[in-house]
């Protein structure tokens, strides 16, 4: 498995002079996801929890909906110049009866923006595509509990504490318990990892869970939550306009600027 962090020498410049010291960086490596040997997607990610990432990606694309939909996940022989396995190619096999995705699902995350799609057609596609519609959830949480969660998320972002270079995502219950936290250089990957955790733990549809984001809430991240049946998304930073539109269309609660003891409630009424 690739390293989560990398040490590099830097020149630190300050008003008091210059000095050389080692710096800890978040590792970033490509991961190619294959289905039965067929390349499906490439994403730049922080190594670790790759199987969860792949499951979450397939869930958010509507390919799978349950743990049993994937029967095998294994790393392929992808070697570097020294002949060592890079663990950067992951092949999954779907269960019998689970159809392979349309070619249109293939995409390269090198060129994917934080949104990637826009407009009414995109909203319609998500609403029709989700098999676990979040509008059916009855998830609520008290405001004072929700305001404590960013600190809980930060405390469990160990690699962020060492590097300052990773996004975080967490799943929490209505009593304020943070069940799972994942980190990644890509905010979409961090969300895919926690969704992958949920599907592997048989917690999908995740009507009883909320999603917490360490940064902003983009359309893509709200879409991923909707595909898992999550009805509440809370972000430390701002949402995009299309994220708000999608949350409203799907009957979700969307919280932004969750900082200190305050928050902005953009859609929904799941905050008690």
Structure-block tokens of residue 96: 């019998």
Q: What angle (nearest 5°) sits at the alpha carbon of residue 197, between those of residues 250 and 166?
A: 85
Beta-bridge partners for 13 = 18
β-strands 89-94, 29-35: how paired? parallel
* Residue 115 is among the residues annotated as catalytic for this protein: yes
* Phi, psi for residue 98 in degrees, rounded to 5: -90, 115
Residue among 76, 115, 118, 250 flagged as catalytic? 115
By CB atoms closer than 10 A (0-12, 13-18, 19+), residue 10 is exposed
- The secondary element (H helix, E strand) that includes residue 224 is helix 219-227
The catalytic residues are 115
């Amino acid at each position: 498995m690739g390293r989560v962090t990398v040490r590099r020498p830097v020149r630190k410049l300050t008003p008091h002079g210059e000095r050389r010291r080692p710096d800890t960086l978040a590792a970033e490596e490509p991961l190619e996801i294959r289905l039965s040997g067929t390349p499906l997607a490439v994403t730049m990610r922080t190594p670790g929890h790759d199987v969860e990432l792949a499951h979450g990606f397939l869930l958010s694309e509507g390919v799978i909906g349950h743990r049993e939909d994937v029967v095998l996940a294994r790393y392929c022989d992808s070697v570097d110049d020294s002949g060592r396995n890079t663990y950067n190619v992951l092949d999954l096999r779907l269960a019998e009866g689970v159809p392979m995705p349309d070619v249109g699902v293939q995409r390269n995350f090198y060129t994917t923006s934080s949104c990637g799609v826009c407009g009414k057609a995109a909203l319609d596609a998500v609403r029709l595509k989700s098999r676990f519609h979040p509008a059916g959830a009855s998830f609520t949480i008290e405001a004072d509990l929700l305001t404590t969660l960013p600190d809980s998320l930060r405390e469990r972002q160990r690699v962020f504490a060492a590097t300052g270079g990773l996004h975080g995502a967490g799943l929490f219950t209505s009593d304020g318990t943070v069940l799972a936290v994942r980190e990644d250089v890509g905010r979409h990957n961090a969300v895919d990892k926690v969704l992958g955790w949920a599907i592997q733990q048989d917690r999908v549809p995740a009507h009883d869970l909320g999603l917490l984001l360490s940064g902003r809430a983009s359309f893509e991240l709200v879409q991923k939550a909707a595909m898992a049946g999550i009805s509440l998304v809370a972000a430390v930073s701002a949402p995009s306009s299309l994220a708000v539109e999608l949350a409203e269309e799907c009957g979700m609660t969307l919280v932004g600027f969750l900082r200190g003891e305050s928050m902005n409630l953009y859609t929904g009424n799941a905050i008690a």
